[in-house]
Amino acid sequence: MSAARGIDPRDFAPRLVAWQRKHGRHDLPWQRSRDPYRVWVSEIMLQQTRVDTVLRYYEPFLRRFPDVHTLAAAELDEVLAQWSGLGYYRRARNLHACAKQVCERHGGEFPRNREGLEALAGIGRSTAAAIAAFCFGKREAILDANVQRVLARAFALPRPRDAATLRTMWNLAESLLPESGLDAYTQGLMDLGATLCRPTQPDCLLCPFAADCPRHLDAPPAAPSPDPAKSARRTLHWVLLWARSEQADGARVWLQRRDAQGIWPGLWCLPGHDDEQQAIHHARQLGEVLEQRHRDPLRHVLTHMDLLLHPLEIRLRAHAIIADSDSAGRWFSLQQALALGLPAPVRRLLAADEAG
């Protein structure tokens, strides 16, 4: 298909491939292998996460889980612990579930086509296409959010808002696929969307399509400054109950597993309360309060809001408690706690305490 306005579709792939080979990214660790396990892990980590952040987690994750069998055999808490700080924790649970499916259904071998990959947990069409293209040389189109933005700008198309417009863009993406140089073309789409064709402040002057990109040529004047009252982010305040019990063999900390929905789904966490009185009441249910002190508040940025965390450290003489569920809570040594899947700010608190 062709677009009414924009770049000549016949020129799009050759120009992108030439740009990627000269200016694209070539030293990312997952580019050094066609192993579908390594590529799959990188693709899942990169969903809604910047490359510089993923680079801090990718190699440590692979050292802990070097292959799909190791990942499938691990406990979910081990996986969440390695994922702690990457956010969007549903990805980690899907990663674990997918590893089990690969081992149980496919003998530890990833399917070699998009359709088979797409049937696995947490792998959508675009991710499946990327794995199939990079690892098995399949001629498949990708269309993640970055690629949608690139194509919408380059061909003067609306961003997909419904099934019909998304289908139109998929048809365009498939029609643009080159007969050769598929690796460089697919990587080029990723590189262009991530480094130049950004959602805001795109670097059009360095783009290989600047001369005829409608988005660049018809760029509207700067939008007026938004109303601060409308653009202000919501801030949610939590008092974190940091209950500590000193035992003969070391300190214990009380953690609860959070619900599968909401903020930090499925992670172990210091109990969060709306106010200090609720936190103190909870602490008294755990033991005799001996001492309490406020720790410095922490701000944690989420996608749509900020969390302002107020740790309340309470030392107590613990009652003998047998919790009937993980959501009710359990005592852990600091070493045990740090081996669990914890939210990043809670992990920093406990790690600093262990180091001190």
2 pLDDT higher than 60:
no
Q: Is 115 a catalytic residue?
A: no
Closest Cα to residue 9, out of 193, 132, 171, 149? 171
Residue 223 lies in a domain: no
The confidence score (pLDDT) of residue 1 equals 42
How many other C-beta atoms can be found within 10 angstroms of the C-beta atom of residue 352? 10
Determine contact, residues 262/346, Cβ cutoff 8 Å.
no
16-38 mean pLDDT: 94
- pLDDT category at 324 given cuts 50, 70, 90 is low
**pLDDT category of residue 247 using cuts at 50, 70 and 90:** confident
Residue written as tokens 């103190």? 280
Residues 237 and 212 in one domain: no
258/188 same-domain check: no
Residue 307 backbone dihedrals phi, psi, to 5 degrees? -105, 125
Pair 82, 47 in one domain = yes
Q: Are residues 172 and 265 in the same domain?
A: no
Annotated active-site residue in 43, 78, 140, 313: 43
Q: Coil, strand or helix: which one is 276?
A: helix
Q: Which domain range does residue 291 map to?
A: 230-355
Kindly report, residue by residue over 188-242, the tens digit of the pLDDT.
999 999 999 999 889 999 999 988 888 776 655 444 445 554 456 789 999 999 9
Which of these, 30, 107, 31, lies nearest to 68 by C-alpha position?
Answer: 107
Within a domain: residue 1?
no
- Angle 43-47-50 from CA coordinates, rounded to 5°: 100
φ/ψ (deg, to 5) at 193:
-70, -35
Distant-in-sequence contacts of 190-196, Cβ < 8 A, 24+ apart? 190/142, 190/144, 190/146, 190/147, 191/20, 191/23, 191/24, 191/25, 192/16, 192/19, 192/20, 192/146, 192/150, 193/144, 193/145, 193/146, 193/147, 193/149, 193/150, 194/51, 194/146, 195/25
Could you tell me the pTM of the whole model? 0.81
Tell me the sheet residues that pair with 333. 252
Residue 13 included in any domain: yes
Name the pLDDT band for 304 (thresholds 50, 70, 90): confident
Domain termination residue (choose one: 217, 243, 268): 217
Contact by Cβ (8 Å): 308, 238: yes
Instruction: Report the pLDDT value the prediction gives residue 230, as an integer from 0 to 100.
Output: 46
Per-residue pLDDT, 124: 96
Alpha carbon distance 26, 23 (integer Å): 9
> How many domains in the chain?
2
- Residue 260's pLDDT is 82
- For residue 99, give the CATH number of its domain: 1.10.340.30
Tokens of 118: 């797409």
348 Cβ neighbours under 8 A, 6+ residues apart: 298
pLDDT tens, residue by residue, 6-19:
689 999 999 999 99
